[in-house]
Amino acid sequence: MRPHRVIVAGPVAVLLLAGCGGSEPVGSGPPARDVAVNATFMTTPEVAITYSEDLVRVGARGAVSAHADEGGTTVRLAVRGLLPDRVYGAHAHALPCGADGDAAGPHFQHEPDPGQPSTDPRFANPENEVWLDLTTDANGAGSVETVVPWQFTDRRARSVVIHAEPTRTGPGEAGTAGQRVACVSVDF
């Protein structure tokens, strides 16, 4: 089953950001059913960090939410204050954000690829990973929602990393999206 993906920008993204309160994960006990993080990108890894101020400015905002039910897990990413009219790749990663982009580890995979780093489309795909590529509007705002046909368990993602480029899908490059430019810690 292919996940449903909706990409919206502008006022909807702002509403998503406005609707997420606080800067700490909600419902972070295993297994997570609902989480919501709303954070400001800074240069230190409190909750959200920018690694490239040219692409994600200090003071930009990011909101991540997830809801799990019997049908799978719905994950949303909303941003504002990024560069206008730009496509960014974004994925759930295995570890929390850290001082550099590598700290978040590899993409979280529901069924882990035995070969790492994973660029095999059998594992690096939007059904086995959480892919959240989005396009910002003229004001630098955007949002995306995706549904994966599984739920997080005690083994779950710990962050969403924003990448400089859209996600590639071909053999030997599947799941790659260029430089890691920002990160939001989320305890899915």
What are the pLDDT digits (tens) for 93-107?
999 999 999 999 999
83 touches 135 (CB < 8 A):
no
Predicted pLDDT at 170: 93
pLDDT in tens, 106-137: 999 999 999 988 999 999 999 999 999 999 99
Rounded to the nearest integer, the mean pLDDT of the chain is 87
pLDDT at 19: 42
Asked whether residue 29 carries a pLDDT value surpassing 70, the answer given is no
What's the CA gap between 108 and 156, in Å, rounded?
A: 7
- DSSP helix/strand/coil, 74: strand
Residues in the chain: 188
In tens, the pLDDT along 153-164 reads 999 999 999 999
